Chain A
């Protein structure tokens, strides 16, 4: 089977979990002999050598890059600011123009290529997917990694983005949601019937997290307990709840250090908040980390906290567990559906968050039990299982569209 897949970021040039997810899924699909044509809008460009290294032997995943300055995971307002940095480039004036431009290129591409099914990841690629369906008549599956309601924390939902999400989903033959949490949102806010949506939880592969360097060992040796936040510093990720919980923790136990790894439009506000709470010396903003640096931060920490206001899935807690650190996650997350061995809290309940952080840093037995069990548990949260569900779903949708098996490519 050949899948025409529309994404917009891919490691190492990814700003968040979407690129990681696309990487994990496409690799697992190709391991299961699915031929993926991965379309990527390109601005800075995904290093071709990187892809060759990974897929050269099989060449099952082929990358098609389209010129565009698309930036995922930002709200449309912050997109405008991001885009202005690339003044030298001449692109569409608005985000919507960028999205339509991507769709136009998809139109051309869908004419040229042959494939069985279309799979598009998140709203920026949805119009491209819809266009490809129009041209080719092939079934379209949309993969919801996040909704506009998640990205904006429910405040200031962009109507155009919402419309694209909603119309595309109504137009699609099937929808994949990354969690039940997200599925429910799609049903509730977009009026999509629940039967049209399946849930495929993201996965993680241990082999991608080997040989983590001991970069922060000196910090660790100072004897302070370390609590880590890693994610974009945006309203969706709930950084202000982390800072407020930090204050409550430090009231009781000053021997705790809070690391904030990430960047985003709320960074300055968070630095100010920590300062006004008088805890700047205990809250360190380390900037955006990736790869080994991020893994080293996970490893150095005693606890990873994900206080997201609305997290469709949330891969970072799984990365943290693999790197050796147990997690405290918000109940408003998809990942909490796949790990029972995590501390869980409502994102707004900073008292509860602080209570749990304090307990982890004072009871080694809690740390050991929590981490040990979660480490075992996430072995079953892998991309192979996710890719299997996707393939079964492709078959189901192809069958529902009346496309016989004999016509498949490859």
Chain B
């Protein structure tokens, strides 16, 4: 405990480093995954290629990927940019499937109604499909946020400063309190970003709280239908 009180500045700095390292990948992966997920949902051939590629990408262990990226992109091994790229790739790999599934879950009748009342393809996407897929996208983005914050710590072993530096430093100097503080702060930061996303979801998707109750009602009526 005394170590923590004596090093509050350090903990604060590492938390800020961690935030700078993990927030851009979360936002980037969402921005990249939406068009890719749309492609995967729209074109059957695209679906196979994009989903297989994202599945394989997600299977690649993080530390080796941190070493491979400099060789592909040409950045220096110690550059934090490698970490941002790698975390973005993982986020996209997770998110693409969610976007494709979310868009696919939009009722076909609703889509056709939108076309019938005169929406163009472009405005159907922005005003009908994307908002209706919103809750699914939000759920996916929350998973991306939590796993990105957790994964970003791994970069510490190749020298990218983050909350993970507390693990490597604490291990080398044998300070348990430092490692425990790092774990607690990482989990807290993950929860904080998760909470921020939930809040953002309430603002952007105000109808979802209402929908949660009606969906439950729908599920009851459907299962009654199924067993009948």
Are A and B genuine complex partners? no
